[in-house]
Amino acid sequence: MEKVLVTGATGFLGEYLVKQLLSDGYQVFALGRKEEAGKKLEGLGAIFCKADFTNQKECEPYFVEVDYVVHAGALSTVWGSWESFYNANVLGTRNVCELCERYGVKRLIYISSPSIYSAKKHRFDIKESEYDVKNELNYYIKSKILSEQVIREFDEKGLYTVVIRPRGLIGVGDTSLMPRILNANDKIGIPLFNLGQNYVDITCVENVAYAASLSIKAEDVKGEVFNLTNGEPMQFKVILEMFLKAMGKEPHYRKLPFSLLYGVASVLETIYKAFRLKGEPTLTKYTVCTLAFSQTLDISKARKQLKYEPVITLSEGIENYGKWWKQQNKD
């Protein structure tokens, strides 16, 4: 039985990766820091490895005999210090690459981010090469660009790597995207630009896990990078109201000019940095750009080379999320 190690296994995406790989017949080593989540993964049949991938010595023993590694561990948020993003996403990725190289791992699958495409403009059918390497809209974006450079460095040295960039993960257990939107809807109203007619691409988390599994066995994909979405771009207002309806909530909007909100976000970011305030600003420049502009990805490369087709539709994913959310929030 072939062995796969998953970093970030105790996170949102990590659990789905573990489930997918177990169902594919692999022996799965689930590397992460959260013991409670680790016990849940052990219940599914994985081997929990309590370790931090940013600490090479700590996690090294778990790399010794594995065939493949899926590196999903990351500091993934819109706000934080550069040091924390650099240590987790850049140096942490280097740690993983060095261990894969040292122990002859057959293939490393790296979960990156299409946030690197973000800009103050509408963008449609973005191909994998169409991003600004100097994009510094936030530290997360900067760190993911640098971490991909680390991946390429090791690929050129001989390590077999594949990078996937999944856009806007949604699904049961989401602790990032929808909770932020719900919080805004309940408290201040969701900022609405262009009457909500800008297009967004999102991805059911099950499809990301499936694509990662495909990336392990696909032929002739060494050094390749793949965009990943559900392939169902929709207008922001339409998809938002689908979500809110599934959760039994009414939408509350605030129609505001982009320039005003972007300016407010810039001021808030400056204040938080200057005074080193805890938490994150109510608005960030990245969040405003994400809400204001269309961004859709070209996934034809994944369809062709990975033979990827979504295993769950957007409507199915939203329905599942709504049922789960209602169950979690019963009075």
Q: Is residue 239 part of a domain?
A: no
* Residue 103: domain span: 3-169+202-229
Question: Is 268 within the bounds of a domain?
Answer: no
Is residue 318, in this structure, part of any structural domain at all?
no
* pLDDT attached to residue 328: 87
165: in domain: yes
pLDDT at residue 151 greater than cutoff 60? yes
pLDDT at site 277: 93
Angle at 274 between CA 272 and CA 277, to 5 degrees: 35
Predicted confidence (pLDDT) per residue in 15-43, tens digit: 999 999 999 999 999 999 999 999 999 99
Residue 275: per-residue pLDDT:
87
Asked if residue 44 is part of any domain, the answer here is: yes
Query: Is the pLDDT assigned to residue 330 strictly greater than 80?
Result: no
Cα torsion through 72, 75, 79, 85, rounded to 10: -120
| Residue 187 banded pLDDT, cuts 50, 70, 90 | confident
303 part of a folded domain: no
Q: What is the pLDDT of residues 154-185, one digit of tens each?
A: 999 999 999 999 999 999 999 778 888 888 88
**Rounded mean pLDDT of 77-98?**
96
pLDDT at site 52: 97
Nearby residues of 26 by Cβ (< 8 Å), 6 or more positions away? 1, 2, 3, 4, 68
C-alpha distances out from residue 51 to 34, 93, 307, Å: 9, 14, 33
Q: Whose CA is closest to 235, among 259, 205, 191, 201?
A: 201
* CA torsion angle 69 311 294 234 (round to 10): -160
**How many domains, in total, are found in the chain?**
1
Decide if 8 is inside a domain: yes
Region of poorest pLDDT, from 110-119, 174-183, 257-266? 174-183
**pLDDT grade for 223, boundaries at 50, 70 and 90:** very high
pLDDT at 331: 55
Residue 56 lies in a domain: yes
CATH number at residue 132: 3.40.50.720
Task: Give the C-alpha separation, 54 to 13, whole Å.
Answer: 18
Four-residue CA torsion sign, 9, 229, 247, 265:
positive
pLDDT at 180: 80
